Structure 1
Amino acid sequence: MDLSTGSSSMSRSSGVMRKCDCGLPAKILTSKTEKNHGRKFFGCQMYKDGGTEHCKFFKWFDQEEVRGWLRNALIQAAAENREKEKLIDHLQMTIMELRSDLEKHVEDAEKVMYRQRLIITGLSGLLVCSIGTIVCLL
């Protein structure tokens, strides 16, 4: 499981210090897995130093530890985060589509400008020839 440290303070649940299996005060960490992204859990503070071989203590922060309005607030916040992530994904897709459309329009504009340059070059050559002919006739 991919982890990142959350709060650097030791975790208290219901006013009692939460300890991991090795006896150290547990830390509140944040999951980075796809299934539980952003979800808080208790873990050993030595995880980064010793990996899971050191201590396998793990407990979800929002299970049994948090009750009532705080638990509901966490559940609601997690749902809002998921909705915002969906919106971000949708907006990123829209940006990609708009970028693709813009690139197509730029290519079309470049083709039109190329044709206009050819026409202007041709007309300029015709004008020079016409002026040369008029000068020769005089």
Structure 2
Amino acid sequence: MSTLCGYGELARCRTSWTQNNPGRRFLGCPNFMDPTRNCNYFRWVDGPLPNRWYQATMFQQDANLVNAEAQIA
């Protein structure tokens, strides 16, 4: 089953890498980068993370990966 945003377009699944929700997947309007076409549709796909330690660990793992990739480039 597909989920449509407020504009009737297929909502896209993305992954959050914010400090409070690292690694959580969500559905969002495909036009989120265009303020004139963004309907602000948003829905979490995953449940909340189990605890603050898990959040901090996931966030740090992503930061380490981003830093390692930046050093290679």
* TM, length-normalised to structure 2: 0.58
Residue 44 of structure 2 is aligned to residue 60 of structure 1: yes
RCO comparison, higher one (Cα < 8 Å, 6+): 2
Residue 57 of structure 2 is aligned to residue 85 of structure 1: yes
Residue 19 of structure 2 is aligned to residue 38 of structure 1: no
- Report the residue type matching 2:18 in the other structure: T
RMSD (Å) for aligned C-alpha atoms:
3.1
In structure 1, runs of 5+ residues without a counterpart are 1-15, 64-74, 90-138
Residue 19 of structure 2 is aligned to residue 27 of structure 1: no
Following the alignment from structure 1 to structure 2, what is the Cα–Cα distance between the partners of residues 56 and 83?
25
How far residue 83 of structure 1 moved from its aligned partner, in angstroms, is 8.1
Following the alignment from structure 2 to structure 1, what is the Cα–Cα distance between the partners of residues 31 and 55?
34
What number of residue pairs does the alignment pair up? Answer: 57
Following the alignment from structure 1 to structure 2, what is the Cα–Cα distance between the partners of residues 84 and 35?
8
Following the alignment from structure 1 to structure 2, what is the Cα–Cα distance between the partners of residues 21 and 62?
21
- Give the structure with the larger helix fraction: 1
Equivalences for 1:1-138 in 2 at 5 Å?
16-48=1-33, 50-51=34-35, 54-62=38-46, 82=54, 85=57
The CA deviation string for residues 101-136 of structure 1, in whole angstroms up to 9 with x for no partner, is xxxxxxxxxxxxxxxxxxxxxxxxxxxxxxxxxxxx
In structure 2, runs of 5+ residues without a counterpart are 62-73
* TM, length-normalised to structure 1: 0.34
Q: 3-state SS of the aligned residue for 1:17?
A: coil
